[in-house]
């Protein structure tokens, strides 16, 4: 038998400690964050690299809750790499450093992050500057020109119609 009281110099009283549930997922939404940690890590398979961040909510509601982000930057799956690099670019622009040399540059940077719940965990889905302004971005990389008929249709209609049978996402109105 181990005696807690002798180890800590008295009885352990749970009422003297924070018992708030900080492990259940946050409700989906936008929250102010501060990046506390950022690291370049190897993928579990050892075939790629990703940028990992730990960000903490700075707003009054859910203060000090943490959300983690992973951004694939080297991956044998080109689509995973493309998505990871695009998401990292959105974060970098939101925090005001569009050209990153080292993960340390991300630490202590603030942003507004939109979070979602997937498999009972939170993850980031969007990033924007804290001051609410639209992030200043450089021109996107050149893309292959759309077919002439498709380009004409896009110019004629400012809002592209959703493909037939496609369901709207819950946040779309």
pLDDT per residue over 19-56, tens digit each?
877 778 899 999 999 999 999 999 999 999 999 999 99
Q: Do 84 and 75 form a contact (C-beta atoms < 8 A)?
A: yes
* pLDDT given for residue 6 in this prediction: 87
* pLDDT given for residue 171 in this prediction: 44
Which ranges of the chain would DSSP assign to H, the alpha helix?
Answer: 4-8, 78-94, 148-156
Residue 22, token pair as written in the block: 């900080």
**Where along the chain do its domains lie?**
20-131
pTM for this entry: 0.67
What percent of the chain lies above the pLDDT cut of 70? 75
Residue 112, token pair as written in the block: 């507004």
The arithmetic mean of pLDDT across residues 75-83, rounded, is 96
Other Cβ atoms closer than 10 A to 75:
19
Q: Do 25 and 120 form a contact (C-beta atoms < 8 A)?
A: yes
pLDDT per residue over 138-173, tens digit each?
444 444 333 344 434 444 433 333 344 445 444 444
pLDDT per residue over 99-137, tens digit each?
999 999 999 999 999 999 988 889 999 999 998 665 544
Q: What is the CA radius of gyration of the chain?
A: 22
For the domain bounded by 20-131, which CATH number is listed? 2.40.50
Sign of CA dihedral 162, 163, 165, 171: negative
Does 10 have pLDDT greater than 80? Answer: yes
Does 1 have pLDDT greater than 60? Answer: no
- Measured CA to CA, the distance from residue 81 to residue 76 in angstroms comes to 8
Instruction: For residue 120, give every residue at least 6 positions away whose Cβ sits within 8 Å of its Cβ, in sequence order, or none.
Output: 25
The arithmetic mean of pLDDT across residues 1-17, rounded, is 86
């Amino acid at each position: 038998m181990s005696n807690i009281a002798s180890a800590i110099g008295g009885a352990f009283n749970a009422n003297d400690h924070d018992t708030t549930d900080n492990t259940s997922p946050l409700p989906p939404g936008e929250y102010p964050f501060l990046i506390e940690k950022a690291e370049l890590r190897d993928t579990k398979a050892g075939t790629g690299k990703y940028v990992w961040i730990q960000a903490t909510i700075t707003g009054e509601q859910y203060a000090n809750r943490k959300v983690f982000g992973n951004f694939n930057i080297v991956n044998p799956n080109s689509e995973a790499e493309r998505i990871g690099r695009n998401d990292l670019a959105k974060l970098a622009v939101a925090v005001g450093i569009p050209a990153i040399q080292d993960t340390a540059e991300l630490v202590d940077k603030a942003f507004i992050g939109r979070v979602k719940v997937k498999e009972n965990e939170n993850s980031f889905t969007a990033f924007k500057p804290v001051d609410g302004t639209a992030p200043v971005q450089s021109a996107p990389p050149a893309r292959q020109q759309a077919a002439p008929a498709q380009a004409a249709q896009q110019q004629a209609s400012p809002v592209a119609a959703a493909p037939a049978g496609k369901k709207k996402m819950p946040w779309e109105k």
